[in-house]
Amino acid sequence: MENAYAEALWKMIEAGEQPKAAVAKLRAYLERHGRANLLPKIAHALMRVAARESAKRAVVLSVARHKDIENAEREARDILKELGTSAKDMEMRVDDSLIGGWRLEGRERLVDASYKKSLLEIYNKVTNSIPRRSDVQSEVGAPTEASGYNRATE
Amino acid sequence: MSSTTVDKILKEIEAHAPSTRAEHVGRVTAVGDGVVAIDGLSKAVMSEVVLFEEGKGKPLSEAMKAQTELYGLILNLEEDGVRVAVLGDTARVTEGMTVKSTGRVLSVSAGEELLGRVVNALGEPIDGKGPFKKTTLMPVEREAKGVIDRRSVSVPVQTGIKAIDAMIPIGRGQRELIIGDRSTGKTTIAIDTIVSQRNEPKATRPVCIYVAIGQKESKTARIVEQLRQAGALEYTIVVDAPASSPAALQYLAPYAGVAMGEYFMDKGKDVVVVYDDLSKQAVAYRQLSLLLRRPPGREAYPGDIFYLHSRLLERAACLSKEKGGGSLTALPIVETQDGDVTGYIPTNVISITDGQIFLVSELFNKGVRPAIDVGISVSRVGSAAQRKAMKAVAGGLKLELAQFRELEAFMQFAQDLDKATADAIASGQRMVEVLKQKNGAPIPMEMQVAILYAAGQKLFADVPVVSVTAVEAKLTEFFDAECSEVLAEIKKTGDLPDDTKKQLNKQIEEFKLAHPELFEKK
């Protein structure tokens, strides 16, 4: 119930209503229907909605080292245009697990140009083309690790 | 490491082109028991497969350790996101994890390579015999063939079980339900049917698919071994979604099985698919639906529980010549509680299928096996596919047995019965004995015809009821040794003309003369 009210409140504010006025309207409505005790829960739900919406809009550019930021911004410029954002609205993160390159994530889009991804792809291709010991065991009934969904298919 | 391996690695590195293609992604917001809520993925479609990105934030060495990729299946499209059933271990999913859209609906591997193999509900091998080299992907959800693409059922599926082939014949492309309480021999009938296909010529032998849903691993292992020993595994695929597997896989397994079957059907082959059992699939689907917050209905099953089974069983078909002439026969199994066929799932599946074989605990415990209740078992389209020879010997058999069951109650007053009733009871008792059959011993059609013909000629009238099974076994041996030509003729023509009848009569007389000790003197 509180989620529905929080969603409605968020939509009112999105539609241009002043937050204070929207909350007042909601409070009046809830009091009329004897549901005023839902207000604290609605507040929590609204925080979740706000967090979700801001996460949806956020665009994060991750690089392996600080010195890669400039280069990554240059390379990701076109993609940022596509996403309707610019470098100044973007959050920068340093993630040394990327090894090198960059990774842009946000607005339901992911562009992974990191070295880690490339290395993982090469590793997976190589290990799939070379039979593993677990794949060629001959004992009937002995379970083996599944080979990955549809990995060896046309 | 060998030089060829090094070469392969070098080739892969040289051929690798890093991509900066944007992928469509979402983010995990909540993880439940096998079901995950995801924000984003607004362009995803129903039944699309998504990939969980497990390596995010982890060092390369750890990311490489993940042996398999973790996939999910979109089952709910909501305003702000999607809900996904995890096709693997839910414990591997964490909140905030990135989920990638793959843009493809769920498909499974299919092809000749799968014959003789045990696979999971995703079509991955789980028998330790290595990965598949070259297979075709078949969509798990596919619309059933339309009216124009179909033709009437005309070729029988020989189950090798006398009681079924004679009284409840199944045709290729039919859907025949096997229903009964627990431990009444439902699986045995299905397995015997698969084993019986060994008697069919290789060119027209149906491919068999056994789908184990929510079964114990030990039971499935036993079945696989039984099929292997009977030489039936070579034309069979076993799809295993055990009780220990996630509900999503148990829900998907029958669809995976039928998708594999459709591959062969589209190539003009005949296929027999056994779903063991659909009650457990319904339970798995109920679990998923409740976790997906779909409104519960009767017995907490969701509103589309009927559609769950109808869209599966409608995919059984007998295709027209223009479409290759293949067929897919469905043998769903449903478990009843205390013999109640009016339960929700049993009535649903009964109404969808073209007949049912009803197994009864009472008969099973009496030693009548297969424990088929002839009165309420029926095959609505199979008689059109029954061979002429079988029709000739089985006509009236069902009625005779049904009458016998009615009269059985009077047996305790045997001394006061009139002659006609006493004769009907005596004949019925012997026919019940003739129709008894050991499990794992399917009988070829021509032998069934010969035995039932002999029974119809009152061969067993002079045999004590307790000895009927033994005499029948001797008769089978005798027919095997002395009547091979007659049997071959019945097999070839599928008919029982007067000449053949005369020859059989002669052989029956010879059998009587050869074994006078088996018959009571009047």
Structure tokens at A2: 């509180």
pLDDT at A89: 80
Q: B39 touching A, CB under 8 A?
A: yes
The rounded distance, in Å, linking the Cα atoms of B140 and B261 is 11
Beta bridge partners of B327: B270, B318
pLDDT at A85: 80
The rounded distance, in Å, linking the Cα atoms of A6 and B80 is 14
Answer whether B135 sits within 8 Å of A125, measured CB to CB: no
Mean pLDDT of B438-447: 93
Does residue B356 register a pLDDT over 80? yes
Whichever domain contains B480, its CATH number is 1.20.150.20
Under 8 Å CB-to-CB from B312, ≥6 apart: which residues?
B254, B255, B258, B275, B278, B330
Asked whether residue A15 is assigned to any structural domain, the reply reads: yes
Residue at a domain's end among B386, B421, B439: B386
pLDDT at A131: 47
Answer whether A56 sits within 8 Å of B63, measured CB to CB: no
Asked whether residue A49 is assigned to any structural domain, the reply reads: yes
Which pLDDT tens digit goes with each residue over A76-120? 888 888 888 877 788 899 999 999 999 999 889 999 999 999 888
Query: Does A63 lie in the same domain as A37?
Result: no
Phi and psi at B499, nearest 5°, equal: -60, -45
Under 8 Å CB-to-CB from B8, ≥6 apart: which residues?
A126, A129, A130
Query: Does A47 lie in the same domain as A65?
Result: no
Query: Does B243 lie in the same domain as B150?
Result: yes
pLDDT-derived band at B405, boundaries 50, 70, 90: confident
Which pLDDT tens digit goes with each residue over B211-228? 999 999 999 999 999 999
pLDDT-derived band at A24, boundaries 50, 70, 90: very high
pLDDT-derived band at B238, boundaries 50, 70, 90: very high
Whichever domain contains B37, its CATH number is 2.40.30.20
Mean pLDDT of B461-484: 92
Which pLDDT tens digit goes with each residue over B89-117? 899 999 989 999 999 899 999 999 999 99
C-beta of residue B216 within 8 angstroms of C-beta of residue B243: yes
Mean pLDDT of B338-355: 95
C-beta of residue B213 within 8 angstroms of C-beta of residue B250: yes
pLDDT-derived band at B3, boundaries 50, 70, 90: confident
Asked whether residue A103 is assigned to any structural domain, the reply reads: yes
Per CB-CB distance under 8 Å, the chain B contacts of A126 are 8-9, 12
B175 as an active site residue: the answer is no
Indicate the number of domains in chain A.
Answer: 2
- Interface A:B, Cβ pairs < 8 A: 145
What is each CA distance from B483 to B196, B469, B489, in whole angstroms? Answer: 21, 20, 10
Query: Does B40 lie in the same domain as B172?
Result: no
Answer whether B68 sits within 8 Å of A146, measured CB to CB: yes
Query: Does A64 lie in the same domain as A112?
Result: yes
Among residues B370, B515, B344, B357, the alpha carbon closest in space to that of B440 is found at: B370
Asked whether residue B91 is assigned to any structural domain, the reply reads: yes
Query: Does A113 lie in the same domain as A74?
Result: yes
Answer whether A122 sits within 8 Å of B12, measured CB to CB: yes
Which pLDDT tens digit goes with each residue over A34-85? 999 999 999 999 998 888 888 778 889 999 999 998 888 888 888 888 888 8
Q: B80 touching A, CB under 8 A?
A: yes
Query: Does B478 lie in the same domain as B349?
Result: no
The range of the structural domain enclosing residue B212 comes to 109-386
The shortest CB-CB distance from B128 to any of A101, A109, A141 is to A141
Residue at a domain's end among B371, B386, B401: B386
- The interface residues of chain A toward chain B in range 73-92, judged by CB-CB distance below 8 A, are 75, 79, 82
The range of the structural domain enclosing residue A63 comes to 58-118
Pairing of strands A101-106, B23-31: unpaired
Asked whether residue B206 is assigned to any structural domain, the reply reads: yes
The shortest CB-CB distance from A120 to any of B41, B55, B80 is to B55
Q: B132 touching A, CB under 8 A?
A: yes
Q: B236 touching A, CB under 8 A?
A: no
pLDDT-derived band at B185, boundaries 50, 70, 90: very high
Q: Which position has the higher pLDDT, B84 or B410?
A: B84
Burial class (CB in 10 A: 0-12, 13-18, 19+), B240: buried
**Residue A150 falls in which region: left (phi positive, over 0), alpha (psi -120 to 50) or beta:** left
Indicate the number of domains in chain B.
Answer: 3
Query: Does A65 lie in the same domain as A26?
Result: no
pLDDT at A123: 86
pLDDT at A134: 39
Which pLDDT tens digit goes with each residue over B289-326? 999 999 999 999 999 999 999 999 999 999 999 999 99
Asked whether residue A140 is assigned to any structural domain, the reply reads: no
Whether this model's pTM surpasses 0.90? no
As for the ipTM of the complex, it is 0.73
pLDDT at B21: 84
Q: A71 touching B, CB under 8 A?
A: no
Q: What angle do CA B130, B133, B136 make, to 5 degrees?
A: 120
Residue at a domain's end among B386, B411, B426: B386
pLDDT at A142: 35
Q: A131 touching B, CB under 8 A?
A: yes
The SS3 assignment for B414 reads: helix
Residue at a domain's end among A37, A56, A75: A56
The rounded distance, in Å, linking the Cα atoms of A36 and A50 is 21
Query: Does B409 lie in the same domain as B309?
Result: no
Per CB-CB distance under 8 Å, the chain B contacts of A140 are 127-129, 228
pLDDT-derived band at B142, boundaries 50, 70, 90: very high
Helices (H), chain A: 2-14, 19-32, 39-57, 69-75, 77-83, 115-129
Residue of chain B with shortest Cα separation from A49: B80
Per the prediction, chain B carries an average pLDDT of 92
Query: Does A50 lie in the same domain as A15?
Result: yes
Asked whether residue A52 is assigned to any structural domain, the reply reads: yes
Does residue B67 register a pLDDT over 60? yes
Does residue B79 register a pLDDT over 70? yes
C-beta of residue A83 within 8 angstroms of C-beta of residue A130: no
Query: Does A86 lie in the same domain as A52?
Result: no
Which of the residues A1, A144, A153, A154 would you substitute to probe the B interface, choosing the one with the greatest number of B C-beta atoms within 10 Å? A153
Answer whether A110 sits within 8 Å of B23, measured CB to CB: yes
Query: Does B63 lie in the same domain as B137?
Result: no
pLDDT at A145: 38
- The interface residues of chain B toward chain A in range 148-207, judged by CB-CB distance below 8 A, are none
Query: Does B367 lie in the same domain as B279?
Result: yes
The SS3 assignment for B339 reads: coil
Phi and psi at B74, nearest 5°, equal: -70, 120
Asked whether residue A130 is assigned to any structural domain, the reply reads: no
Does residue B413 register a pLDDT over 70? no
Which pLDDT tens digit goes with each residue over B494-519? 999 999 999 999 999 999 999 988 88
Among residues A53, A51, A46, the alpha carbon closest in space to that of A22 is found at: A46
Which of the residues B52, B61, B127, B249 would you substitute to probe the A interface, choosing the one with the greatest number of A C-beta atoms within 10 Å? B127
